[in-house]
Amino acid sequence: MRIAIVGSGALGLFYGAKLAKAGHDVRFLLRRDYEVIMAKGLTVHSVEGDFHLDKVQGFRSPAEIGVVELVVVGLKTFANDRFGELITPLVGQETLILTLQNGLGNEELLAELFGAERILGGVAYLCSNRGEPGVIHHLSQGRIAIGNYSSRDPRRVEPIAEVFRTAGVDCRVVADLVRVRWEKLVWNIPFNGICALAQKPVDALLNHNRTRQLILQMMVEVIVAANAQGLSEDIDTALAEQMVVFSRSLGPYKPSMQIDREEGRPLELAFIFGNPLRLAAAKGVVMPRVEELYALLELGEKSGENF
């Protein structure tokens, strides 16, 4: 399959490398890693086994990539205003667009630009970081859940899931895409947010009783808000404790938002915090602890922009 990776960060490079290793025609839209990757290839240090791609199809512009069958969007959500310029040259009559971005609202923006019928969404349960240019460190997890944006019909989604499976990625098709997006927010909101604010990794938060309890309380707030959204099945509040138990295995892992703040990049506040809070409020649900964390994170943004 001819695939374009738009957003070649830790997520895009990891999944793109896996797909290319499996023999798919993968074309990366590259920025800061372009020179190194074109000269030396792409290296993945992975808990599943290290590998190196000697030759990578890297491009500086989407026009150079041309029309593809599948666009995988791994952009940070603060770059969503560039959807039109980055994706339009890649889209033909049969092109599907799969966003694996964090938060809520990505599919809606893509549907407005390119039509709901071609939009797929998904969540990636992946712990990976970028190393030096051209190097990815895959620390844990890697499975994907994907679904149809415009309907709950799995027939169009299953062939895409199979493409990922051929690359050794555990990929399942879900009928309720909204539900799995909220499920990931149960982890993303407290851990990404508090790690970024405190500049402490996951294990430090869990080893401190007060922050561990705060994480659990925020998780329950997110679950209550999610269950007000008309999901196909409610999310059990027991998920909060399960996620905390799982997160202990991550050790000193730094979530992406913590790294973004350390490196002076914008945070994905609008889609991970703002949109969930807005949707919760529309259903009469308040998330006071999440709202406070959002306010504190927003205060630290250099732009001072209110999302």
Single-letter amino acid code for the residue at 244: V
Q: Is the dihedral of CA 6, 7, 8, 13 positive or negative?
A: negative
To which H or E segment does residue 137 belong?
strand 135-148
Distances (CA, A) of 131 to 6, 49, 134, 188: 19, 16, 8, 22
**Which residue out of 21, 184, 200, 254 is catalytically annotated?**
184
DSSP code of 22?
A: T
- The two tokens of residue 196 are 């970024």
184 classed as catalytic: yes
- The two tokens of residue 16 are 């793109």
Q: Is the dihedral of CA 19, 23, 24, 25 positive or negative?
A: positive
Contact 29, 8 (CB under 8 A): yes
- Beta-bridge partner residues of 23: none
> Which of 114, 109, 140, 103 is closest to 125 using CA atoms?
140
For the annotated catalytic residues, the residue numbers are: 184
